[in-house]
Amino acid sequence: MTTQKILITGGCGFVGSNLIRRAAALGLSSRLTVLDNETMGSPTELPSNVFAYERGDVRDLATMARMAAGCDAIIHLAGHTRVLESIADPESDFEINVRGTLNVLMAARDAGVPHVILASTGGALFGAETAPIHEEMVPQPLSPYGASKLAMEGYAHAFASSYGLRTTSLRFTNVYGPYSRLKGSAVAHFFRQILARQPITVYGDGSQVRDFVYVDDLCDGILQALAASASGVYHLGSGNPTSIATLLKSMRDVVGPEWAFEVRYAPWRTGEVVRTYTAIDKAAKAFAYQPGVTLDIGLPRTWRWFLDQ
Ligand SMILES: NC(=O)c1ccc[n+]([C@@H]2O[C@H](COP(=O)([O-])OP(=O)(O)OC[C@H]3O[C@@H](n4cnc5c(N)ncnc54)[C@H](O)[C@@H]3O)[C@@H](O)[C@H]2O)c1
């Protein structure tokens, strides 16, 4: 695996910047190339000696074709990631997540790249299904973001059967950890509110359940899927249900009395999924995915990073 040349699209973002550090720690760094259009991240915050870099856009096929040449694998993380923005502007979401992914797959096919790993989503593909969600369930996306990720998975599957490309769609749950300053997800948002000494708003009574996975566990899962040459669709999460109320209690313990915060309750938002978490058995079986960082370990690490900023 250490001899591979790996292209990471969206490598300057939250998951990408953690993945690059994780890969560097495992000795994979000298073969990494990052492509990012810098809308949601910057290479200046990354350890510059561990990867080659180009600023560019996955929507540009010529750029993708050039970047894919000579690669052994592509980890496609670049994407439009905001659910509410996708509802306001489904076309932009489509262009980045569907057109961009099609370009990645065509470039991989034409350059003979054997393996493409794609970042999909667990939560946005399912509505009110009985948790835990798993790979056998029929996705029913509730937002254009979810629909674009499902289309992405469809193209990945089609390129595998039509052109023999190995493709792996990894459905992430709610990822948290360092380098999440720009993320709108619960942990990052709540920590930012606490640092700004602003109250945290909870919609409903805090009983809604989510699956929070620490970013290092997720990155290990991505690298394990790569090493095992896994193909198909896999859910990557913690496998543990955590209510927002429990999360906030843990956060209160982590930040201590110096950063005591107020929680305000607002009416439930229409369409909000009450209970979702993921089964991880398929990934565990296929490439020994075994997330080990529980909230009581991951939250203090994340808080320390936010405090340092
Ligand atoms: N973070 C999560 O909780 C989560 C959950 C489910 C799925 N995902 C998926 O994982 C992937 C990575 O997520 P993230 O949290 O790191 O997001 P992020 O927004 O932090 O990172 C995405 C990166 O892609 C870049 N990018 C955006 N559009 C681009 C384009 N057209 N061309 C090139 N680069 C572009 C951005 O500049 C950014 O650096 C995304 O595809 C996202 O949909 C993330």
Per-residue pLDDT tens digits of the chain, which is 309 residues long:
446 899 999 999 999 999 999 988 887 755 899 999 999 999 988 887 778 899 999 999 999 999 999 999 999 999 999 999 999 999 999 999 999 999 999 999 999 999 999 999 998 898 767 889 999 999 999 899 999 999 999 999 999 999 999 999 999 999 999 999 999 999 999 999 999 999 999 999 999 999 999 999 999 999 999 999 999 999 999 999 999 999 999 999 999 999 999 999 999 988 788 899 999 999 999 999 999 999 999 999 999 999 999
Instruction: Tally the residues of the chain.
Output: 309
Cα–Cα distance measured from residue 225 to residue 122, given in angstroms and rounded to the nearest whole number: 17
Cα–Cα distance measured from residue 43 to residue 36, given in angstroms and rounded to the nearest whole number: 8
Q: How far is CA 120 from CA 46, 81, 110, 213, in A?
A: 23, 10, 23, 14
Tokens of 49: 């000696």
Cα–Cα distance measured from residue 10 to residue 20, given in angstroms and rounded to the nearest whole number: 11
**CB contact at 8 A, 135 and 153:** no
* H helix intervals, 26-143: 61-68, 83-88, 90-94, 100-111
Q: How far is CA 132 from CA 126, 137, 210, in A?
A: 11, 10, 10
Q: What is the pLDDT of residue 24?
A: 85
39 C-beta closer than 6 A to ligand 1: yes
Q: What is the pLDDT of residue 1?
A: 45
Cα–Cα distance measured from residue 257 to residue 249, given in angstroms and rounded to the nearest whole number: 12
Q: What is the pLDDT of residue 30?
A: 55
Helix or strand or coil: residue 205?
coil
| Ligand 1 atom at minimal distance to the Cα of residue 96 | 31
| Ligand 1 atom at minimal distance to the Cα of residue 58 | 32
Q: What is the pLDDT of residue 2?
A: 46
Q: What is the pLDDT of residue 271?
A: 75
Q: Whose CA is nearest to atom 36 of ligand 1?
A: 40
Pocket test for ligand 1, best of 14, 55, 75 (most atoms within 8 A of CB): 14
45 C-beta closer than 6 A to ligand 1: no
59 C-beta closer than 6 A to ligand 1: yes
118 C-beta closer than 6 A to ligand 1: no
Q: Whose CA is nearest to atom 43 of ligand 1?
A: 81
Query: Going by C-beta distance under 8 Å and a sequence separation of 6 or more, which residues neighbour residue 196?
Result: none
60 C-beta closer than 6 A to ligand 1: no
Q: What is the pLDDT of residue 29?
A: 56
Distance 156 CA to ligand 1 centre (A): 17
Q: Tell me, which fold does domain 6-176+212-238+279-291 have in CATH?
A: Rossmann fold (3.40.50)
Query: Going by C-beta distance under 8 Å and a sequence separation of 6 or more, which residues neighbour residue 287?
Result: 221, 224, 225, 227, 228, 230
Cα–Cα distance measured from residue 298 to residue 203, given in angstroms and rounded to the nearest whole number: 24
